[in-house]
Amino acid sequence: ECRIAFLGEIEARHITNVDLFEVPGSFEIPLHAQILAKTRRYTAIVAAGLVVDGGIYRHEFVADTVIKALMDVQLRTEVPIFSAVLTPQQFHESAAHLDFFRRHFALKGVEVAEACANTLLSLERLRGQVAAGIA
């Protein structure tokens, strides 16, 4: 749902050339993001995932670890990286939970597309100002 909503919103904002990659788990996201960022082919990278097992401390550990690593990659490469990695507590596969998270992921897809588009515009302006000696 996140991917579908993201692609719909990013297309509505006339951003093209989106590549999709899958990784085996959330811990693998930062390394894949770093390799992609280092190619210099991507102006932004969006990571999405759902961590549903392991208890509250595992969820917090995974989320904190992945977000910190993505931030490190972003700062090292100067390629903005966005996260829609969710770690719901007490997830269970009931119809109500599945419906809630489908809607929640769709919302997160739209939000991450908005953040990505707005950041790309902001960075373009900032880099132009820096190049012109204004900032």
110 has pLDDT over 80: yes
What is the value of pTM for the model shown?
Answer: 0.85
Look over the chain and give the mean of its residue pLDDT values, rounded to a whole number: 89
Cα 107 off chain centre by: 13
Per-residue pLDDT of 22-44, as tens digits, reads 999 888 999 999 999 999 999 99
**Residue 12's pLDDT band (boundaries 50, 70, 90)?**
very high
**Residue 72's pLDDT band (boundaries 50, 70, 90)?**
very high
pLDDT at position 86, please?
78
Higher pLDDT, 75 or 56: 75
Q: What are the sequence ranges of the domains in the chain?
A: 2-131
Active site residue 125: no
Ordered DSSP codes for 77-129: H---EEEEEE--TT----HHHHHHHHHHHHHHHHHHHHHHHHHHHHHHHHHHH
Q: What region, left, alpha or beta, does residue 14 occupy, with left being phi > 0 and alpha being psi -120 to 50 degrees? A: left
- 117 and 10 Cβ atoms separated by less than 8 Å: yes
**Active-site residue, selected from the candidate residues 58, 102, 125, 127:** 58
CATH code of the region 2-131: 3.40.50.960
* Alpha-carbon separation of residue 71 from 9, 13, 19, 79, 93 (angstroms): 24, 25, 21, 10, 31
66 has pLDDT over 70: yes
Which one, of 84, 85, 91, lies nearest residue 52 by Cα? Answer: 91
**Residue 85's pLDDT band (boundaries 50, 70, 90)?**
confident
Mean pLDDT of 105-130: 95
